[in-house]
Amino acid sequence: MSDIEERMKQQQYDLDESQRIANIGSYRLNLENGNANASGILKKIFGFKPDHDLNIQDWHDSIHPDHKQMMLDYFDEVVAENKVFEKEYKIIRASDSDERWVYERAELKTDKKGNPVNMVGIVQDITKRKQAEAELYESKELFKKTFESLDEAVIILNVNNRTIVECNPGTEKLFGYTREELIGESTRILHVDEERYRKFGTLGRAEFEENGFFQTEFVMKRKNGEIFRTEHTITMVYDEEGNIEKVVSVVRDITEKKKAEEQNIRSIIEGAELERKRIAKELHDSLGQYLTAASMYLEHVEEFLFELPIDQKRQFRKGLDQLNKAINETRSISQNLLPKVIDDFGIALAVESLIDDIREDRSEEIHYQHNLDDCQLPEAIELNMYRIIQESLNNAIRHSECTRIDIQLVLEENSLHYTIEDNGKGFDPQKVIGEGLGLWNIGNRVNGLSGDLEISSKPDKGTLISIYVPI
């Protein structure tokens, strides 16, 4: 065998292998007699035996009934107009009557006069692709129907700029905007709390890493300006490379639920405050008066102590000192149970007085800033915020082993923002929340005020507690 024949044989083998791997067959059709010279892969695609002599009638018979007339008309059009043949269509395979999808592309070859004499082309089996497309379409249709039928609002966001790329009718109903008004808009137009909106990217990170989704709550507003409470279940959509591409947020209106919870909490807190007032009054009006009277009587007797031995004088004075300490302690407990300074001077000065008292006995640096001069807040907010500040300060002092505490109490446009930060040993909020009575009390009071509580802490990194309360 000559080198040329060897090379031609190798080229034919390479061509056959390429067609086999790509599942592509080739053919050359004689338009005058209808006979076709076809590759083995093409015969396999159509279900013919390798030794079968193909002709154009075989092609006609193989076309699926749903596509037969369309393809015959298309073939005539290609020949008449001398243009490229390119089509996807269904066939019935001759060997097993299996329904298949094929893609065919062919060009016409003409004689010297420009008349078509041959058609040369390729055919590829695309059944798997078509099946995948059908499954994808069904999946998209199912998602679309589910998406549109959900009562909850479903918002799909661009992860980079948090603009809305899609939303369902539930979103239109919940927020009062049309879909056309929302697409392309930033979700900022739906939020009330600017600070919490900015922190969206860090919310629920640990929960998401563990569960693949996370839940959080936001105060939001409708198109008509109405403010309401929402719960968000948030998941991520990834691209083929595993990068976050979109954010999907399912939003539920929990305003009525929160009102019921908050009313229940308020009732409990108000009951506790009434009990505090009762106990404080009893301490002041009863026990405190008895102790004060006893002290006065004993002080009156003190001038006659010269008749007693020195040891008895010392014991008398120790007893009187202990009695005076009890009077002071009773007064302090009464004031803590019923902080009258709030009613007299407002929360800003009440907190300042609380901090001054702590500074007398503690070495920690406590820095306090506020913008509440001459500002009167609702009584329930002032009292509960005072209790929250009192509790959070005590927690920091008792547990954090810190040397510095920074407190800010800032009145913003629609909310009161309280932060307390220490440089102590920190903790894992996921492990501590639910176990510590102090944090539980704080959380209950925040919920009772329709507020938001955020705790940021890590071991050896200090602690930051942020609380937002709507005004």
Strand 365-370 relative to strand 404-411: parallel, antiparallel, unpaired? parallel
State the residue for tokens 């640096």: 365
Task: Note the pLDDT of residue 376.
Answer: 80
From CA 382, how far away is CA 385, in angstroms rounded? 5
| Residue stretches of the chain with pLDDT short of 70 | 1-22, 199-211, 265-266, 268-295, 297-298, 300-307, 327, 329-341, 343-344, 430-438
DSSP assigned state of 343: H
- Of 396, 386, 383, whose CA–CA distance to 438 is shortest? 396
Distance of CA 401 to the CA centre of its chain: 34
DSSP state, residue 72: H
Q: Is 189 helix (H, G, I), strand (E, B) or coil?
A: helix
3-state secondary structure 139-160: HHHHHHHHHHHCCCEEEEEECC
Half-sphere exposure of 304 (CA within 13 A, CB side): 4
The letter for the amino acid at 126 is I
Cα–Cα distances (Å) from 196 to 17, 171, 202, in that order, read 61, 21, 10
As a whole number of angstroms, the distance between CA 419 and CA 216 comes to 20
* Ordered strands of the 452-457 beta sheet: 365-370, 404-411, 415-422, 463-470, 452-457
The percent helix, strand, coil of the chain (3-state, each to 5) is 50, 25, 25
Whole-number Å distance between alpha carbons of 107 and 105: 7
DSSP of 249-315, one letter per residue? EEEEE-HHHHHHHHHHHHHHHHHHHHHHHHHHHHIIIIIHHHHHHHHHHHHHHGGGGGGS-HHHHHH
**What is the C-alpha separation between 441 and 276, in angstroms, rounded?**
15
Q: What is the pLDDT of residue 281?
A: 62
Res 107: pLDDT: 94
